[in-house]
């Protein structure tokens, strides 16, 4: 079905809002279960999606909003899935993407604190998983698709594996799509779906993936439903406009800041030169006085 609203026919599933809608729509649970099972590396029978805003006890505490906050019926483990389509503000290679890494730590801490703990032995606490699916290379690693982080010391000895942060790097898709679908792992197939489902050039590969992965097939049904919904498209357009305005604002601020810094540096350099000229003049006058005396 063609559209004339300036948006693609199939909305990108890696866009934050689209991703969240895909996996929280009614009937989407098989897709969510398969995505979580594949990333965690163990099958889940059922999950319950919970409130995305964990309660806070201090008005000065930083409020976090989870994308998809759920608990597994199998073992009561808790999971937060975050899709990060674009870099966070101030997050750059130069800063080693510190902001998103530190946000993952905060989210994981908040998530782990949600479980009932009164009267429960510490050894009986449930596992918590913070899963960040990122559309840029957070760690600047070449071939790492999914990385798991737990508490360890500098010698690699583990303190605990009860809280785990997992990062999935969608930028690996450019290498994965060169493989045959039959040679892709389950997580690799999810990565291809999330990055290429809206790209007509990869329809053949997507169709082959859909035939073999029931969860991805359900996710694709949700995606096509979202893409034909005028309200969803309007919300997507609004988010895109906001994102572009934000990028323009950041670029404008950065360019002006660079000009301010450059002008300041020039002013300081001029002052340094003026001081140096005065010092040279004073030295010359002293030399002449010394000659007369």
Residue 220 covered by a domain: yes
Tell if the pTM clears 0.85, that is, is over it: no
DSSP code for 106: H
pLDDT digits (tens, 9 = 90+) for 194-236: 999 999 999 999 999 999 999 999 999 999 999 998 888 888 8
Residue 84 covered by a domain: yes
Residue 171 covered by a domain: yes
Residue 271 covered by a domain: no
**Structural domain of residue 112, as residue ranges?**
16-228
Residue 33 covered by a domain: yes
Find out whether 62 and 55 touch, Cβ atoms under 8 Å. no
Number of domains into which the chain is organized:
1
Q: Percent helix, strand, coil in the chain (nearest 5)? A: 50, 15, 35
Find out whether 97 and 139 touch, Cβ atoms under 8 Å. yes
Find out whether 216 and 184 touch, Cβ atoms under 8 Å. no
Q: What is the dihedral of CA 95, 101, 102, 106, to 10 degrees?
A: 170
Residue 278 covered by a domain: no
Tens of pLDDT along the chain (293 residues)? 445 566 778 899 999 999 999 999 999 999 999 999 999 999 999 999 987 765 444 434 444 567 899 999 999 999 999 999 888 777 777 788 888 999 999 999 999 988 877 788 888 899 999 999 999 889 888 888 999 999 999 999 999 999 999 999 999 999 999 999 999 999 999 999 999 999 999 999 999 999 999 999 999 999 999 999 888 888 888 877 766 766 665 555 555 555 665 667 677 777 777 777 777 787 777 777 777 76
The pLDDT of residue 171: 94
The pLDDT of residue 281: 80
Residue 55 covered by a domain: yes
């Amino acid at each position: 079905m063609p559209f004339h609203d300036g948006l693609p026919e199939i909305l990108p599933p890696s866009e934050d809002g689209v991703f969240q809608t895909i996996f929280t729509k009614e009937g989407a649970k098989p897709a969510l279960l398969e995505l979580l099972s594949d990333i965690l590396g163990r099958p889940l029978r059922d999950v319950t999606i919970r409130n995305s805003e964990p309660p806070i006890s201090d008005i000065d505490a930083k409020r976090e909003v989870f994308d998809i906050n759920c608990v597994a019926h199998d073992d009561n483990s808790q999971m937060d899935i975050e899709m990060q389509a674009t870099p966070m503000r101030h997050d750059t290679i130069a800063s080693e993407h510190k902001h998103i890494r530190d946000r993952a730590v905060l989210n994981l801490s908040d998530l782990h604190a949600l479980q009932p703990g009164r009267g429960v032995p510490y050894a009986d606490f449930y596992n918590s998983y913070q899963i960040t699916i990122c559309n840029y290379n957070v760690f600047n690693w070449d071939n790492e698709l999914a990385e798991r982080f737990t508490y360890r010391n500098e010698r690699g000895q583990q303190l605990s594996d009860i809280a785990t942060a997992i990062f999935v790097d969608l930028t690996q898709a450019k290498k994965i799509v060169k493989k045959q679908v039959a040679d892709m792992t389950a997580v690799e197939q999810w990565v291809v779906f999330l990055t290429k489902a809206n790209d007509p050039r990869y329809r053949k590969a997507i169709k082959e993936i859909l035939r073999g992965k029931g969860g991805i097939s359900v996710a694709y049904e949700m995606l096509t439903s979202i893409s034909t919904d005028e309200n969803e498209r309007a919300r997507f357009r609004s988010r895109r406009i906001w994102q572009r305005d934000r990028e323009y604002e950041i670029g404008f601020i950065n360019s002006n800041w660079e000009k301010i810094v450059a002008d300041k540096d020039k002013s300081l350099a001029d002052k340094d030169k003026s001081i140096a000229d005065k010092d040279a003049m004073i030295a010359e006058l002293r030399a002449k006085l010394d000659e007369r005396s």
